Amino acid sequence: MKQTDFADMPASVIAARVAAGSLDPVQAVAASFAMSREKKSGRDGLNLVLWSDEKLATADASVLKETMGPRGEGGSLAGVPVAVKDNIATLGLPTTCASRILAGYVSPFEATAVTRLRAAGAIVVAKTNMDEFAMGSSTENSAYGPARNPHDLRRVTGGSSGGSAGAVAAGIVPIALGSETGGSVRQPASFCGIVGVKPTYGRVSRYGLVAFASSLDHIGVMARNVDDAALAMQAIAGLDPRDSTSADVPVAPYCEEFVSIATTPSPLEGLTVGVPAEYFPEMLDPGIRALCDRALDALRSLGAKIRKVALPHTSLAIPVYYIIAPAEASSNLARFDGVRYGRRESGTASLREMFGDTRSEGFGPEVTRRILLGTYVLSAGYYDAYYRKAQSVRTLIAGDFARVFAGGVDVLFTPTTPSTAFSIGQITDPYEMYMSDIFTATANLAGVPAMSIPIGRESGLPVGGQLIAGHFAEAAMFRVAYALEAALGGQAHQ
Amino acid sequence: MSTDKYEMVVGLEVHVQLKTRSKAFCGCSTDFGAAPNVNTCPVCLGLPGALPVVNEQAVMLAARAAISLGCTVHPTSVFARKNYFYPDLPKGYQITQFDEPLATGGTVMIDTGAGERTIGITRVHMEEDAGKSVHDRFPGETAIDLNRAGVPLIEIVSEPDMRTAREAGAYLRTLRQILQYLGVSDVSMEQGSLRVDANVSARLKGEEALGTKTEVKNMNSFSAVERALEFEFTRQCGLLERGETVVQHTLLWDASKNEARVSRTKEGSNDYRYFPEPDLGPLVLDPDWLSMIKLSLPELPDKRRARFASDFSLDAEDVDKLTADSELAEYFEAVARATGDGKAAANWVMGEVQALLNAGKGTFDELSVRPADLAQLISMIRDGLVSHAAAKRIFSLMAESGKPAAQVAHEHGLLQVGDDAALAGWISEVMTEHPEESRRYIGGERKLQGVLVGFVMKKSAGKADPKRVNQLLVARAEADAGPG
């Protein structure tokens, strides 16, 4: 199998060939590692992959080959090499959240999403770089240095799932798992020119996802096309008794509906796409605005009705997010105390000092900033003014979406990000960095599904368009995404 | 110094370990006494990525307890995180309930002998236990045992309604009894399945406002709680008498020195940063489920006391003793129902059975003398088949062998002899051996009858039926006295 073939090959094709016996999963894994070497995905190159073990992955592929038989049913992702963000627990490879405090930590158990990918036949080939504990929008806040955008090595991949986005964009894997707390799958997907999906809160188990902000955390998927993204989502979605917040809602067969879309002249007939004015502010990059208009035209020509809608509390999303997320993070990251696992500062005089030094040395500046911020907003006397207030505003933001979807809108269309990938080191002001998630954090706060798909290029850099649907309406979202992707065709990458 | 001018005000916080097989939020065993850190998993170790799942059995037991304490169990309650750093707290927070607890507003009736009083229950909430720091295992180092981490607890918070140490003791004993009847906990202070923290303050009698309270911890028995309260109350009165103020401290009771000392840890300075636990949704209880729990509640101590008094014609003291423990009460009732003789059953259960238990011959479940066996023994006494003295011997043989009463009596020749010929033979022998007493008895000194019966009993090794011996002696005396 040629590397170049592999780099463009969709996961669905790999799985079909493996199932048909025309592709050896061991070869697919070898092609992925060859691609990884060619693209210099490691520390000295793109810095997308933190941990990988070719022997282990090859062994997994061999086991798959043996257990599936000559023309066996290897699963929907049979032999598909996948990458997993480094904050999702995997057996056999470290899970460090790109943090010094978890250097060398290997989880004794695996995330449900990873177990389900493996059950579908996928082979885990890499753990990917990320902003430390998923706190960041550029993958610059990694203890292992910034990831580089395969489209322009001087630019960021976006973040925090930058390593996963870059690995998919670079052709190292067709599918990767990322995680989102405030846009961390969609924003890097947009920056890297791929598809990134954040499902409904509760759609995919969080068991094994190292918690950042539990009420906002989601596992998402990243792929080069909508079909593969839906295929991967299909594999990992559904109730998990280990996660009390996972939902007992049936998972629709997302990909089956794609067949009818391809054969229907106006596949989105009867569907209403809402366009919220708040996501198209004056300051929006004109190039991005133009690409959004082109995408809306495409949706119209597919038969969709386009309707202007209002999501009036949108501007409050970032302030609310930066109260709730750090508050939960300050508690979730308390377990990294040096007592049971991970890094421990030795030679300290007291227990308090051990805690303090371990955490001061182990956490990077952005993580430290958010822990302090979160500790502050939960403090006695401040709780009502910050956390409680933020939670009530959060319900207003969720209410905006609920009202729009109850009013006959099927999906919303917006730009994914206000800009294209910025240069590494360009943004130093944390607040400016936070504004990078202005269009994406709302869906995390409301728990609604959202995804980014490529809609074109601006000055050579990928631009993403965002689709947002109502709770558990992933099927509708995927249908629109698939139709739009097909309609834009080659334009999406121009 | 006299404390007479002052009144003690006490509120108690009682932590009770729920009797579940697995922990509150994971499947690990709650067994007491396992090797360190054996009963642990990613969830209770707080490993990155692990998530809690509520143990329904724990919720059920908590709801049973709350209902039985007269509380309103809320259809929706909320788990919260209590954040603090401590080596034996694996997640850096404890999952507990804060501003929306499981249940609120109950009562417990207590009786100190000076009449009944109602003690208010402020709230009952669920939480998980922390692990244990072990300081004496490795010299100079502290080891952590997380077997206990995540074990389900309820905290029962009382109103500051108790006015004496004795009332506090009565409250705790009543509470323990109720929880024991419900089977929701082992309620053992020794094993740590029941822990008590006391809030105590002093105020001038007649004063409405509460004084500044202190919290006293580390008591390992109910009597220690009473002693600690007396100690702390006296200390506070002393301060007030001298015109000083009580400072809101936490004190630790030292049982060996009979004193409470101010704890070095600054509890008051902790800010626990409570917020709703985002990994668990609100705890929503189905009203039908709650009604089912209400219907399935066992008879509670108050009701059982009343029933025993009327069903078995027992006096209050016996009823109290027999209902102190639900297993004792159930054992007694089984014996009483089988024999139809409440008084005899009560005497045997409070006497021989209790002695057996006190001697450490196992728990009720392990007792080899089953209620039916004891009932048979009691019936044998009533039917004159065995003497009371022989019955005690039979009981201890039953306890050792586990055999039924009749078999033991037979095998050891302890059946009472009521046969006149055998009895007459023993009487004749006694009369020959004790001519002086016999002569005087026949001569009319009837008070010697008891002495002679005693000789016969001794000669028969306790097997003679004393009632029949008495009758035969009377007959003998009347015959010998004769007409002449």
Round to whole Å and give the CA distance between A38 and B61. Answer: 61
What's the pLDDT tens digit per position in A132-157? 999 999 999 999 999 999 999 999 99
Residue B83 is nearest to which of A210, A241, A334, comparing CB atoms?
A334
Bridge pairing between strands A81-85 and A123-128: parallel
Average pLDDT over residues A7-17: 95
Please, is B17 exposed, middle or buried when counting C-beta atoms within 10 Å of its C-beta (0-12, 13-18, 19+)? buried
B284 CB within 8 Å of a chain A CB: no
Judging contacts by C-beta atoms under 8 Å, the chain A residues touching residue B93 are 331, 334
Residues 6+ apart with CB under 8 A from B343: B312, B313, B314
Q: Which residues pair with A454 in a beta bridge?
A: A464
Say if CB A168 and CB A222 are below 8 A apart. Answer: yes
Q: Residue A71's pLDDT band (boundaries 50, 70, 90)?
A: low
H or E, element range at B154 = strand B152-158
Task: Determine the 3-state secondary structure of B386 from DSSP.
Answer: coil
Buried b (16+ CB within 10 A) or exposed e, A255-270: bebbeebeeeeebbee
Judging contacts by C-beta atoms under 8 Å, the chain A residues touching residue B85 are 334, 337, 355
Looking at CATH, the fold of the domain delimited by A3-257 is given as: Amidase signature (AS) enzymes (3.90.1300)
Instruction: Specify the pLDDT at position A228.
Output: 98
- Selection from A108, A120, A81, A129 nearest residue A237 by Cα: A120
Round to whole Å and give the CA distance between B291 and B334. Answer: 29
Residue with tokens 């869906």: A443
Instruction: Specify the pLDDT at position B484.
Output: 42
Average pLDDT over residues A70-82: 84
Does residue B358 or residue A34 have the better pLDDT? A34
Does residue B159 or residue A346 have the better pLDDT? B159
- Selection from A432, A435, A443 nearest residue A466 by Cα: A443
Instruction: Specify the pLDDT at position A72.
Output: 59
A66 residue type, one letter: E
Domains of chain B: 6-289 (no CATH), 299-411 (no CATH), 420-481 (1.10.10.410)
Round to whole Å and give the CA distance between A33 and A54. Answer: 7
Residues in chain A: 494
Round to whole Å and give the CA distance between A386 and A377. Answer: 6
Max CA distance (Å), chain B? 107
Residue with tokens 């086991």: A63
Bridge pairing between strands A461-469 and A218-223: unpaired
H or E, element range at B135 = strand B132-138
- Selection from B414, B371, B410 nearest residue B392 by Cα: B414
Judging contacts by C-beta atoms under 8 Å, the chain B residues touching residue A215 are 278
Residues 76-95 of B with CB under 8 A from A: 81, 83, 85, 87, 90-93
Q: Which residues pair with B260 in a beta bridge?
A: B253
- The pTM of this model reads 0.91
Residues 351-390 of A with CB under 8 A from B: 351, 355, 375, 378-380, 383, 387
Residues 181-210 of A with CB under 8 A from B: 206-210
Instruction: Specify the pLDDT at position B233.
Output: 97
Q: Which two structure tokens, joined as six digits, stand for A251?
A: 């998972």
The count of CB pairs under 8 A between chains A and B is: 100
Residue B85 is nearest to which of A355, A378, A387, comparing CB atoms?
A355
Q: What is the DSSP letter of A120?
A: T
Residues 135-174 of B with CB under 8 A from A: 144
Active site residues of A: 85, 160, 184
Q: Which two structure tokens, joined as six digits, stand for A33?
A: 């590692």
Judging contacts by C-beta atoms under 8 Å, the chain A residues touching residue B47 are 107-109, 341
CB contact under 8 A, B273 and A331: yes
Average pLDDT over residues A309-337: 97
CB contact under 8 A, B48 and A334: no
Q: Which two structure tokens, joined as six digits, stand for B304?
A: 């059982």
Instruction: Specify the pLDDT at position B363.
Output: 77
Say if CB A223 and CB A179 are below 8 A apart. Answer: no
Instruction: Specify the pLDDT at position B465.
Output: 82
A328 CB within 8 Å of a chain B CB: yes
What's the pLDDT tens digit per position in A352-390? 999 999 999 999 999 999 999 999 999 999 999 999 999
- Selection from B322, B312, B309 nearest residue B349 by Cα: B322
Q: Is B82 left (phi over 0), alpha (psi -120 to 50) or beta?
A: beta
Q: How far apart are the first and last CA of chain B?
A: 82
Q: DSSP H helical segments within B272-370, as ranges? A: 287-295, 301-312, 316-323, 326-339, 342-348, 354-358
Q: Which two structure tokens, joined as six digits, stand for B475?
A: 């007959």
Instruction: Specify the pLDDT at position B423.
Output: 86
B407 CB within 8 Å of a chain A CB: no
Cα angle, residue B198 at apex, residues B194 and B202 outer, rounded to 5°: 160
| Residues of chain A by 3-state class (helix, strand, coil), percent to 5 | 45, 15, 40
What's the pLDDT tens digit per position in A211-237? 999 999 999 999 999 999 999 999 999
CB contact under 8 A, B49 and A88: yes
Q: Select from A242, A341, A354 the residue whose CB has the most chain B CBs within 10 Å, as the one to mutate to test that interface.
A: A242
B266 CB within 8 Å of a chain A CB: no
A88 CB within 8 Å of a chain B CB: yes
Average pLDDT over residues A64-71: 79
Instruction: Specify the pLDDT at position B53.
Output: 98
A262 CB within 8 Å of a chain B CB: no
Taking residue B407's Cβ as centre, other Cβ atoms within 10 Å add up to 15
B51 CB within 8 Å of a chain A CB: yes
Residues 6+ apart with CB under 8 A from A346: none
Question: Over its length of 484 residues, how does chain B's per-residue pLDDT go in tens digits?
Answer: 678 999 999 999 999 999 999 999 999 999 988 999 999 999 999 999 999 999 999 999 999 999 999 999 999 999 999 999 999 999 999 999 999 999 999 999 998 888 899 999 999 999 999 999 999 899 988 999 999 999 999 999 999 999 999 999 999 999 999 999 999 999 999 889 999 999 999 999 999 999 999 999 999 999 999 999 999 999 999 999 999 999 998 999 999 999 999 986 655 557 999 999 999 999 999 999 999 999 999 999 999 999 999 999 899 899 999 998 888 999 999 999 999 899 999 999 999 998 888 887 677 778 888 999 999 999 988 887 888 888 888 998 998 888 988 888 888 888 877 778 888 888 989 989 999 988 888 888 888 888 888 898 888 877 788 888 888 888 888 877 655 4
Judging contacts by C-beta atoms under 8 Å, the chain B residues touching residue A93 are none
From residue A335, give the alpha-carbon distance in Å to each of A210, A213, A376, B19, B434.
11, 14, 18, 28, 88
Instruction: Specify the pLDDT at position B266.
Output: 54
Q: Rounded mean pLDDT of chain A?
A: 95
Q: Which two structure tokens, joined as six digits, stand for B354?
A: 């209790």
Judging contacts by C-beta atoms under 8 Å, the chain B residues touching residue A208 are 49-50
Task: Determine the 3-state secondary structure of B57 from DSSP.
Answer: helix
Task: Determine the 3-state secondary structure of A412 from DSSP.
Answer: strand
Positive/negative CA dihedral, B290, A205, A247, A321: positive
Round to whole Å and give the CA distance between A276 and A297. Answer: 16
Judging contacts by C-beta atoms under 8 Å, the chain B residues touching residue A343 are none
Instruction: Specify the pLDDT at position A458.
Output: 95
From residue A481, give the alpha-carbon distance in Å to each of A32, A246, A298, A363, B3.
27, 25, 11, 38, 80
Cα angle, residue B252 at apex, residues B248 and B258 outer, rounded to 5°: 120
Instruction: Specify the pLDDT at position B481.
Output: 62
Residues 6+ apart with CB under 8 A from B206: none
Bridge pairing between strands B141-145 and B152-158: unpaired
Positive/negative CA dihedral, B157, B160, B165, B170: negative
